[in-house]
Amino acid sequence: MIKESKMRPTNSTTFNIDTEITPDSYEDLLKFFEMHYIAPKQTVFTNVKRTAIDHEHSLSFTFLGPENKWSIDVELKTGKPVQVKIVPSDATVPHEALSQLKEDLFIGVQLFEEQVRRTSLYFSWVENEPVVP
């Protein structure tokens, strides 16, 4: 689920993406975005920077429009929920580009969650009952 709010005067947009990932996967989420979203389209991304300060992981990058006529700055902060801030360079940034970027980020989080579910091993047991191997 995306929860969105508009901020003025910079015309930035912030929204949250609900997630079920655990804190030990936060850094992996950002690596996933770098590897599967940014790296394949590296000609349209610049200023890619991943940081971790006091266990708060973030990824920032700039998406470049055609012929570098406009750009969109993006910052992802991990947590529950994942916090996203999008700042268009100016009013010429097409609404479709902003919408597509939001959708890409939301789907990226879902894809990472699915990958974690498929590659995780879960154990369950009932308290005070014998464990069956």
Among positive and negative, which fits the CA dihedral 48, 53, 58, 64?
A: negative
Return the residue matching tokens 């580009």.
Answer: 97
User: Are 45 and 34 contacting, i.e. CB atoms less than 8 angstroms apart?
Assistant: no
Average pLDDT over residues 62-67: 94
**Phi, psi dihedrals of residue 16, rounded to the nearest 5°:** -115, 145
Domain locations in the chain as residue ranges: 2-119
**Phi, psi dihedrals of residue 52, rounded to the nearest 5°:** -140, 115
> For 2-119, which CATH class?
alpha beta
Model confidence, pTM: 0.79
Q: What is the pLDDT of residue 7?
A: 39
Query: What average pLDDT is seen over the chain?
Result: 87
